[in-house]
């Protein structure tokens, strides 16, 4: 009996050690210069850039997404959003940010255009202005420095063929030795327009999402970007057709899905980076 009791205790200790080790490996154990979080939300898509100086939130969010965004920001102890970049200013992709104004110190909001906006978007911006938030239109070819990251806006651009009210914010993040291309929800017309700047598209990581994402998994676009990793940022299953399209172009590409993995975290500094997830994906990106 005593022998079985000892074995029981030892087994319990081993299980505890395994669980602790798993948790320890999931999350970075120190504050890195760079953290890029790909949030797990029901409908839209959001990317949070955390550095020691700033928190930048980029994306699209429906009303249903708001709760999940707040829960994630709270888990990361985010109190201030230095810049909120709304990729597609329309009712379905803005209202998820409205509640953030009540719970966080949002300093600035950036949009690809500030004309021809629908009423809910205008109402949201008026609430933000009344709260003292500065509203800006993104300039053609604008670039920011956020810690070690250079944040470049590939769209809006002076050579775009997209009508003003359809313009979207397309962001490329350039880090030491690595780069990430963040695509909002886009359609075929957006792809045709973006390919006018094909020489600027090359990136190690490509983030796609939305109903039109299949267009951006075709060989011509993948060849222009030439990614090592493709992130499906929607909370929806990756289709077999999409995987076939990717692997027929390059079978060595790492495909990562928020639907399968939960939220993703890219972190590191000085050219050495890793990526992990809620379900303990581990990809070394260096």
Which string of DSSP letters, residue by residue, matches 59-101?
A: EE--GGGHHHHHHHHHHTT--EEEEEEESS-SHHHHGGGTTHH
Query: Residue 3 falls within a domain, yes or no?
Result: no
Query: Residue 28 falls within a domain, yes or no?
Result: no
pLDDT at 2: 56
Closest CA to 194 of 204, 176, 211, 208: 208
Range of the domain at 101: 33-285
For the chain, 286 residues long, give each residue's pLDDT as a single digit of tens: 555 656 666 665 666 554 444 444 444 545 677 899 999 999 999 999 999 899 999 999 999 999 999 999 999 999 999 999 999 999 899 999 999 999 999 999 999 999 889 999 999 999 999 999 999 999 988 999 999 999 999 999 887 889 988 999 999 999 998 999 999 999 999 999 999 999 999 999 999 998 889 999 999 999 999 999 999 998 889 999 999 999 999 999 999 999 999 999 999 888 788 888 888 665 555 5
Within its chain, how far is the Cα of 281 from the centroid?
Answer: 17
Domains identified in the chain, total number: 1
Query: Residue 23 falls within a domain, yes or no?
Result: no
pLDDT at 25: 45
The angle subtended at Cα 89 by Cα 86 and Cα 90, nearest 5°, is 135
Which string of DSSP letters, residue by residue, matches 117-144?
A: --HHHHHHHHHHHHTT-EEEEPPTT-EE
**pTM of the predicted protein model:** 0.87
Query: Residue 219 falls within a domain, yes or no?
Result: yes
pLDDT at 286: 54
CATH number (domain holding residue 188)? 3.60.15.10
Query: Residue 114 falls within a domain, yes or no?
Result: yes
pLDDT at 8: 64
Query: Residue 16 falls within a domain, yes or no?
Result: no
Scanning the chain, the segments in alpha helix (DSSP H) are 2-26, 66-75, 91-94, 100-103, 119-130, 188-194, 219-225, 240-249, 258-261
What are 269's strand-pairing partners?
272
Q: How far apart are the first and last CA of the chain?
A: 52
Query: Residue 183 falls within a domain, yes or no?
Result: yes
Query: Residue 20 falls within a domain, yes or no?
Result: no
């Amino acid at each position: 009996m005593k022998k079985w009791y000892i074995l029981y205790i030892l087994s319990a200790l081993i299980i505890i050690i395994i669980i602790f080790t798993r948790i320890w490996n999931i999350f970075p154990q120190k504050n890195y210069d760079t953290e890029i979080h790909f949030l797990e939300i029901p409908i839209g898509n959001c990317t949070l850039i955390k550095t020691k100086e700033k928190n930048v939130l980029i994306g699209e969010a429906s009303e249903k997404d708001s709760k999940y965004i707040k829960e994630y920001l709270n888990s990361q102890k985010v109190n201030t959003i230095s810049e909120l970049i709304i990729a597609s200013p329309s009712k379905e992709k803005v209202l998820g940010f409205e509640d953030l104004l009540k719970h966080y110190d949002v300093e600035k909001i950036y949009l690809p255009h500030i004309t021809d906006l629908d009423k809910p978007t205008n109402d949201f911006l008026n609430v933000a202005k009344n709260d003292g938030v500065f509203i800006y239109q993104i300039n053609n070819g604008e670039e920011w420095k956020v810690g070690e990251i250079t944040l470049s806006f590939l769209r809006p651009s002076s050579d775009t063929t997209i009508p003003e009210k359809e313009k979207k914010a397309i962001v490329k993040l350039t880090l030491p030795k690595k780069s990430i291309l963040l695509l909002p929800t886009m359609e075929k017309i957006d792809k045709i327009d973006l390919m006018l700047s094909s020489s600027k598209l090359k990136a190690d990581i490509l983030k796609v999402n939305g109903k039109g994402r299949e267009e951006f998994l075709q060989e011509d676009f993948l060849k222009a970007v030439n990614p090592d990793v493709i992130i499906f940022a929607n909370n929806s299953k990756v289709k077999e057709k999409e995987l076939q399209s990717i692997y027929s172009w390059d079978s060595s590409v790492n495909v990562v899905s928020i639907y399968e993995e939960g939220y993703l975290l890219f972190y590191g500094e000085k050219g050495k980076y890793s990526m992990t997830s809620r379900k303990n994906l581990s990809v070394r990106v260096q």
